[in-house]
Chains A and B, each alone.
Chain A
Amino acid sequence: MSEQTRQVPVPTGRSARPAHRELARALPWLLPTLTLILTIVLFPAAYMVWTSSRDVSQAGVDRGPAGLDNYRALLQLPALGRVFGNTVIWVAGVVLVTLLVSLALAQFLNHAFPGRRLVRLAVIVPWAASVVMTSTVFYYALDPFYGIFNQFLVDLGILDAGFGFTRRPVPAFVVSMLVAVFVSLPFTTYTILAGLQMVSDDVIEAARMDGAGAGRIYRTIVLPILRPAIAVAVLINIINVFNSLPILRTMTGSIPGYDADTTTTLIFKYIQQDRQVDLASALSVVNFLIVLAVIGIYLAALRPMRDE
């Protein structure tokens, strides 16, 4: 975007034509992507916005225009403050913890040791499994009665009896965040690991010869090379974590009220429990604008699409 603003102020005289021609030259490379997006994504997205301005019955029948009523109804939800607060904690917490753990893990997996290949394969498994199933098995294993993780904690003497991790808003929310970190780690770790392959051993060796410590080498040589990989990984994590439904839906689904909800799970509750698709669509539009703003700020601040 900032690149664009750099380009825009030169539309006068002869430089206007090159800009125009540049775009024409770029278009064929972008066309397949644009075509796919315009033919598949445009309609459902527009339909969502349209639905948010309609009065849709619980059965799904469109009863006519509703103007901004759905948006107004959103503001009247008393739990809205808590839900927004939860969303901020959820996204920031999960993304940051994921990044820190991934940096360490990628560094570790970059060392040679016996069985490294197998460990790397093990780390990928949470990514290969569907998030729904991972959440379900955590939920099952954390059940206070027949959960194996709970039983394990009891057998170790850490707990006296099974604890209802998934039965109260705060513990359930924290456990959900851990699961979210767990399923985000493989992708993040691998992106960083792939980035680490671009770090040349010679450079590190040279720096070491010059007497640089491990911490300094990491900060001044490794991190800058990892920058694009980290930037993209964080970007993707922000979007994914923000839009993540299955984890909270599974882990906190039986908990009443909205104390463990984010805006995304609230959309789901509007659909599933209140049968209000129109309201859910309105919240989705708001949700979309929020992510767009967050990502916009992120991109403007970090400029990961800067070349070189």
Chain B
Amino acid sequence: MKRFLRLSAAVALAALTMTACGFGGKDEASGDGKTLSLLVPSYSNGTKALWEGIIADFQAKHSDITVNLEIQSWDNINDVIRTKVQAKAAPDILNIDAFSGFASDNLLYPAAEVVSPDTLADFQDSFAKNASIDGTMYGLPMIASARTLFYNQELLDKAGVTKPPATWQELYDAAQKIKNLNAGVYGYGMPLGSEEAQAETSLWIFGNGGSWNEGDKITVNNPRNAEAVQFMKRMIDAGLTQPDPGASDRTPMLDVFIQGKIAMAVGLPPTVGQIAQKNPKLKYGTAPIPTKDGQPMTLGVADHLMAFKNDGSKKDAIKTFLDYFFSAEVYKKFVDTEGFLPTTKSGAEALKDKKEIVSFLEVLPGARFYPSTNPRWAATQGAIQSQIGQIGQGKDPKAVLTGIQAKADA
């Protein structure tokens, strides 16, 4: 027994010395209301440096406030934030796409409490409205993107398509001509894989005058939506899209477009930079997204900043930081560097001549948004992402939409 004690003492000691290396000590955020935690997703490989620069400049001006930055990839940020909320340890400021889930759980400060009236008044009206629930604004629209049709000029020329399609029928015919080339290229890139299927589907549904909601109610399987999805399936069944559209994610699909193997696809502002980087020789153009009747339309998406109430002690520090972030210089640099569209009036003015985003800024006023203020939208979006692609695997559109509706109502 004695020997055993000696052994266990040795083991315990060993364990202790080993774990000692784990005691790095950590500066616990103290409850002084001056230490802010900021959780953001990574938009590009420059995001981390950009935020670090902004925070360093901010802390130089406000030496009493410390901002702790945490960056996560888009794949992981939802898991991270949910875990923090579950543990009642939400960050003070969060940058993410949808705010409504947090707002409806009463976790967020109303925007008016965490930015100055000047900052608040600077947001463009459509974005401010899209960031409000029942007239109260919770999200701070931070960056926006819009979609537009990218087309491969060379392929369209070769196929004898003289102008980019404006209606569904023209798109169908153009894609058919591309297919008839028999050149191993595809007419239209339709990404219905789980990455962003809701965006592609929304474009078709909005392009048919359809909608995901009527007032507070999520309505996935209404007749207009069904008609739009039916047409998508027609394109797929006729072989006018890339193979297996139901399982094609957007990013890889756009890579195929960039490599010149897809004639037409819907892209977004960062696509311009990616073409320049990966295949600068590509001859391409952009045009409004085809709709059923040719009426121009685009999908607008805004990401938001939001402030969590937590224990309520940090409101002033949060306000100082957010006002700093949305000040003209700082904000312009952020939006400009990430290559997105501004959501503020001053930002739009400052960037109106940037040629990469001009074509997007033009379509932005007519943009339609996801019903992201609806608390059921997040679940609906998840269901669209995981289900809609089944129309590419022979499933009946009506049945797929009904399945999504069931998830939305769950």
Touch between chains A and B, by CB atoms below 8 Å: yes
Point out the residues of chain B lying under 8 angstroms from A257, CB to CB.
386-387, 389-390, 393, 395
Contact B86 A60, beta carbon cutoff 8 Å: yes
- Choose among A144, A146, A274 the residue that contacts B407 (Cβ–Cβ < 8 A): A274
Contact A256 B390, beta carbon cutoff 8 Å: yes
1/0 contact string of A125-146 vs chain B (CB within 8 Å):
0000000000000000001111
Q: In the complex, which residues 215-272 of chain B have their Cβ closer than 8 Å to any Cβ of chain A?
A: 243-244, 246-249, 252, 255-256, 259, 261
Assess whether A286 is interfacial by the CB under 8 Å rule: no
B102, closest chain A residue (CB): A59
Q: In the complex, which residues 1-20 of chain B have their Cβ closer than 8 Å to any Cβ of chain A?
A: 4, 8, 11, 15
Give the distance to chain B from A279, nearest Cβ to Cβ, in Å: 9
Assess whether B344 is interfacial by the CB under 8 Å rule: no
1/0 contact string of A40-58 vs chain B (CB within 8 Å):
0000000000000000111
Bound CA span A143–B32, Å:
53
Point out the residues of chain B lying under 8 angstroms from A274, CB to CB.
379, 382-383, 386, 407, 410
Point out the residues of chain B lying under 8 angstroms from A255, CB to CB.
193-194, 246-247, 389
Assess whether B296 is interfacial by the CB under 8 Å rule: no
Contact A145 B379, beta carbon cutoff 8 Å: no
Contact B247 A167, beta carbon cutoff 8 Å: yes
Contact B83 A273, beta carbon cutoff 8 Å: no
Q: In the complex, which residues 340-395 of chain B have their Cβ closer than 8 Å to any Cβ of chain A?
A: 375, 378-379, 382-383, 385-390, 392-393, 395
B244, closest chain A residue (CB): A167
Assess whether B46 is interfacial by the CB under 8 Å rule: no
Contact A254 B195, beta carbon cutoff 8 Å: yes
Contact B248 A254, beta carbon cutoff 8 Å: yes
Assess whether A302 is interfacial by the CB under 8 Å rule: no
Bound CA span A60–B82, Å:
5
Bound CA span A32–B248, Å:
50
1/0 contact string of B193-204 vs chain A (CB within 8 Å):
111010000000
Give the distance to chain A from B381, nearest Cβ to Cβ, in Å: 8
Point out the residues of chain A lying under 8 angstroms from B256, CB to CB.
145-146
1/0 contact string of A255-278 vs chain B (CB within 8 Å):
111000000000001011111110
Contact A272 B79, beta carbon cutoff 8 Å: yes
Contact A256 B388, beta carbon cutoff 8 Å: yes
Bound CA span A166–B247, Å:
8
The answer to whether A256 and B82 touch (CB under 8 A), given A73-B410, A145-B256, is no
Contact A144 B102, beta carbon cutoff 8 Å: no
Point out the residues of chain A lying under 8 angstroms from B247, CB to CB.
164, 166-168, 172, 254-256
- For this complex, into which size category does the number of interface residues on chain A fall? 35 or more
Assess whether B184 is interfacial by the CB under 8 Å rule: yes
Point out the residues of chain A lying under 8 angstroms from B192, CB to CB.
256
Assess whether B33 is interfacial by the CB under 8 Å rule: no
Bound CA span A256–B195, Å:
10
Contact B243 A144, beta carbon cutoff 8 Å: yes
Give the distance to chain B from A61, nearest Cβ to Cβ, in Å: 4
B389, closest chain A residue (CB): A256
Which of A144, A167, A168 gathers the greatest number of chain B CB atoms within 10 Å?
A167
B250, closest chain A residue (CB): A254
Which of B11, B83, B86, B256 gathers the greatest number of chain A CB atoms within 10 Å?
B86
A-B contact count (CB 8 A): 117
Q: In the complex, which residues 153-187 of chain B have their Cβ closer than 8 Å to any Cβ of chain A?
A: 184
The answer to whether A273 and B382 touch (CB under 8 A), given A28-B4, A61-B107, A145-B256, is yes
Assess whether B50 is interfacial by the CB under 8 Å rule: no
Contact B193 A256, beta carbon cutoff 8 Å: yes
Give the distance to chain A from B186, nearest Cβ to Cβ, in Å: 10
Give the distance to chain A from B374, nearest Cβ to Cβ, in Å: 12
Give the distance to chain A from B191, nearest Cβ to Cβ, in Å: 9
Assess whether B294 is interfacial by the CB under 8 Å rule: no
- Choose among B82, B244, B387 the residue that contacts A275 (Cβ–Cβ < 8 A): B82
Contact A145 B101, beta carbon cutoff 8 Å: no
Bound CA span A73–B379, Å:
15
The answer to whether A59 and B101 touch (CB under 8 A), given A255-B247, A274-B379, is yes
The answer to whether A61 and B4 touch (CB under 8 A), given A166-B247, A255-B389, is no
Query: Can you sample 28 A-B contacts with CB below 8 Å?
Result: A28-B4, A28-B8, A31-B8, A32-B15, A58-B378, A60-B82, A61-B107, A73-B410, A144-B243, A144-B244, A145-B252, A145-B255, A146-B259, A167-B248, A172-B247, A254-B195, A254-B248, A255-B389, A256-B194, A256-B389, A256-B392, A269-B386, A271-B79, A273-B386, A275-B78, A275-B378, A275-B379, A276-B379
Known pairs A28-B8, A168-B247, A256-B246. 20 more at Cβ < 8 A? Answer: A28-B4, A31-B8, A58-B379, A61-B86, A62-B86, A143-B252, A144-B244, A145-B252, A145-B256, A145-B261, A166-B247, A167-B243, A169-B393, A254-B249, A255-B247, A256-B247, A269-B386, A274-B407, A275-B78, A275-B101
List residues of chain A with CB under 8 Å of any chain B CB.
28, 31-32, 56-62, 73, 143-146, 161, 164, 166-169, 172, 253-257, 269, 271-277
Closest 9 CB pairs of A and B: A256-B389, A60-B85, A254-B193, A273-B382, A167-B244, A60-B82, A167-B247, A60-B86, A59-B101
